[in-house]
């Protein structure tokens, strides 16, 4: 059994369903598309997208993805969240972890009430 409470979304069907039926929340640097689920076992599924049009260098795109993943894998409150979330980076330049964290915390507080 896998002990991780956060998994990555990879199914095209699942992505399509979230994009079509999901709710939207936008911060300054990140855009969130999410679906809340009401299963008994809480599990968060993520998809992180950093568009090549916004951030040209692959090194910077990967760095942003790592920062976002680090936030979700580090937090204990994430174990209580149940849903699917697509996170899209919306800013034109790479930003520091603290700025991304503010967007993610505001999303988490407003949507999942944690």
- Residues 65-110 have pLDDT tens digits of 999 998 888 877 776 778 899 999 999 999 999 999 999 999 988 8
Sketch out the chain's domains with CATH numbers.
6-112 (3.30.230.10)
| Residue 24 in this model has a pLDDT that exceeds 90 | yes
Residue 100's closest CA among 76, 64, 74?
A: 64
Residue that is written with structure tokens 């679906």 in the block: 35
Whole-structure pTM value? 0.88
Specify the pLDDT at position 72. Answer: 85
Over residues 108-113, the mean pLDDT reads 84
Higher pLDDT, 55 or 111: 55
Measured from the Cβ of residue 53, the count of other Cβ atoms closer than 10 Å reads 6
What is residue 78's DSSP assignment?
A: G
CB burial readout 66-79, b (16+ within 10 A) else e: ebbeebbeebeebe
Over residues 48-53, the mean pLDDT reads 96
Tokens for 57? 């260098």
């Amino acid at each position: 059994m896998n002990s991780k409470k956060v998994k990555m979304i990879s199914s095209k069907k699942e992505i399509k369903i979230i994009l079509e039926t999901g709710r939207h929340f936008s911060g300054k640097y990140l855009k969130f598309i999410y679906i809340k689920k009401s299963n008994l076992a809480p599990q968060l599924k993520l998809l992180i997208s950093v568009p090549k049009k916004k951030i040209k260098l692959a090194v910077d795109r990967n760095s942003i993805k790592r920062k976002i993943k680090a936030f979700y894998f580090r937090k204990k409150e994430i174990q209580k969240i149940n849903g699917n979330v697509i996170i899209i980076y919306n800013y034109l330049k790479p930003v520091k972890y603290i700025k991304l964290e503010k967007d993610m915390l505001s999303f988490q507080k407003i949507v999942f009430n944690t």
